[in-house]
């Protein structure tokens, strides 16, 4: 039997446990218990002994018996009702009283989704914290920036890391908002009218409302879908998948940047002592985790369209063609998001920065990047700006061509210093070429961003426990 790679290689035990059959069907039974308790409290003839027996047998599963019932009934919920009644016979007559299948299927999905979203929150906040520490460490280390993947004005390593943090911070805020706004289906009945429950309470609408409110509260939800057919609106799934897709977008961007920086030898992921980069080339240090992060992120992004089709093709109050789809897609999207955050946690806490290579690369490009500053310095000495500009243009093209065609790096600074049209000594030029003169407000931007936007969020969510992370090759 094939194991899903998400289960066997990438997702954490915590996330896997949320989407096990044991967790799912135990949740169904807890929903039936909550329904029976709330009905008893509101006056229906349900005994304490019936509820007690249901509670005692909540995790007593005979999977062979359930499979036999499902083969007989061709209906998974009915199979579980009968199997539960077999181990809790005193409650046989009141299990699922007044409910329809989506009472357990949809509400259990939402309970799993909420727990999974909360786990992702705790993982993402730890990732952001690791990146914040790195940004603070390299707040003012000048490095080349790149536009169109061509050398551009210098920035700092800390500023570049903050670009990643900003994306993940937005993702975290969306994740929290999506979790907080998650709505319980509650008790809606076969077509959403709650007619069966109204009949149970002899037309007392207030008791039906109390029944739904009490069950939602006992299951940890403060908000309930107000209007529904048999199911909750699948637009809610669209929002959930989009929130997870946002993480994949940011993860792919970060991992791609890291792969580019690894090629430039400025920054890379950790490499274990016995790790093999290539079966053919012993010297290779392939960015395997960054590559895996890109691959998993692309897979998650491919899933975000799935619930949009489901939401768009709902038939009136209910059809069943979404059931098999959601049974597969919901666990997959959460296991994949979990795998992505496992990789992000490892990469953000094991990033290696090479300041000497960064300095070397910036020094190679600075004479060209500093031409505007050289023009201004010479102009302040009374030189003709247009003549200076034309001379610099020709010199830069000559040295650039020499570098690219013959692999020779001429001394542009020396030639400028020896040209009387500039009237600038080599010492003056060296001062102009101080990398710190070209990074603008990057260090101040980093400090302000970490203080005003990142730290308050990290402080606010310190209550999120440290989750387990899984990293597998």
Instruction: Identify the pLDDT of residue 276.
Output: 65
Any catalytic annotation for residue 202? no
Q: Which CATH architecture has domain 371-432?
A: Orthogonal Bundle (1.10)
Residues in the chain: 473
Rounded to 10 degrees, the C-alpha dihedral 30/36/41/46 comes to: -140
Please state, in angstroms and rounded to a whole number, the distance separating the CA atoms of residues 253 and 97.
50
Mean pLDDT computed over 362-377: 84
- Model pLDDT for residues 23-76, shown as the tens digit of each residue: 999 999 999 999 999 999 999 999 999 999 999 999 999 999 999 999 999 999
Higher pLDDT, 372 or 360: 360
Instruction: Find the catalytic residue in 148, 202, 279, 466.
Output: 148
The bridge status of strand 150-156 relative to strand 142-147 is antiparallel
pTM reported for the whole predicted model? 0.91
Sort residue 148 into left (φ over 0), alpha (ψ -120 to 50) or beta: left
- Model pLDDT for residues 5-20, shown as the tens digit of each residue: 898 889 999 999 999 9
Has domain 100-137+153-202+218-354+441-464 been given CATH number 1.20.200.10?
yes
Please state, in angstroms and rounded to a whole number, the distance separating the CA atoms of residues 345 and 261.
19
Has domain 11-97 been given CATH number 2.40.10.10?
no
Instruction: Find the catalytic residue in 17, 62, 278, 319.
Output: 278
Any catalytic annotation for residue 278? yes
- Model pLDDT for residues 64-112, shown as the tens digit of each residue: 999 999 999 999 999 999 999 999 999 999 999 999 999 999 999 999 9
Domain ranges within the chain, ordered by starting residue: 11-97, 100-137+153-202+218-354+441-464, 371-432
């Amino acid at each position: 039997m094939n194991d899903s790679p998400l289960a066997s290689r990438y997702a954490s035990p915590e996330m896997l446990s949320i989407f096990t059959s044991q967790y799912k069907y135990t949740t169904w039974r807890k929903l039936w218990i909550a329904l029976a308790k709330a009905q008893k409290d509101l006056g229906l003839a349900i005994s304490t002994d019936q509820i007690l027996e249901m509670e005692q047998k909540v995790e007593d599963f005979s999977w062979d018996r359930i499979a036999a019932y499902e083969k007989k009934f061709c209906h998974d919920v009915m199979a579980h009702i009968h199997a539960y009644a077999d181990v809790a016979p005193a409650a046989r007559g009141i299990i699922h009283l007044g409910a329809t299948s989506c009472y357990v299927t949809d509400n259990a999905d939402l309970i799993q989704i909420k727990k999974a979203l909360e786990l992702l929150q705790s993982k993402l906040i730890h990732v952001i914290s690791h990146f914040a520490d790195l940004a603070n460490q390299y707040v003012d280390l000048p490095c080349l920036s790149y536009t169109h993947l061509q050398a551009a004005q210098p920035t700092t390593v800390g500023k570049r890391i903050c670009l990643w943090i900003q994306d993940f911070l937005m993702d975290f805020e969306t994740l929290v908002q999506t979790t907080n706004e998650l709505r319980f289906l509650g008790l809606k009945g076969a077509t959403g009218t709650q007619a069966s429950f109204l009949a149970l309470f002899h037309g007392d609408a207030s008791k039906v409302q109390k029944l739904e409110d009490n069950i939602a509260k006992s299951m940890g939800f403060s908000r309930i879908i107000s209007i529904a057919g048999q199911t909750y609106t699948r637009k809610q799934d669209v929002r959930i998948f989009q929130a997870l897709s946002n993480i994949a977008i940011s993860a792919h961007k970060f991992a791609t940047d890291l792969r580019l920086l690894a090629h430039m030898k400025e920054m890379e992921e950790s490499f274990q002592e016995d790790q093999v980069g290539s079966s053919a080339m012993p010297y290779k240090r392939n960015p395997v985790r960054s590559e895996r992060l890109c691959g998993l992120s692309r897979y998650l992004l491919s899933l975000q369209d799935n619930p949009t089709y489901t939401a768009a093709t709902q038939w009136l109050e209910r059809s069943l063609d979404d059931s098999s789809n959601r049974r597969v897609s919901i666990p997959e999207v959460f296991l994949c998001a979990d795998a992505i955050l496992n990789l992000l946690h490892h990469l953000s806490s094991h990033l290696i920065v090479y300041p000497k290579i960064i300095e070397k690369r910036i020094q190679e490009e600075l004479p060209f990047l500093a031409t505007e500053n050289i023009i201004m310095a010479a102009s302040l000495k009374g030189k003709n700006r247009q003549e200076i500009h034309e001379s610099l243009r020709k010199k830069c093209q000559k040295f650039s061509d020499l570098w690219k065609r013959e692999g020779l790096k001429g001394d542009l600074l020396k030639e400028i210093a020896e040209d009387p049209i500039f009237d600038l000594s080599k010492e003056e030029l060296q001062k102009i070429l101080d990398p710190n003169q070209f990074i603008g407000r990057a260090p101040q931007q980093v400090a302000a961003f970490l203080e005003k936007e990142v730290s308050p969020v990290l402080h606010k969510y310190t209550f999120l426990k440290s989750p387990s992370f899984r990293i597998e090759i």
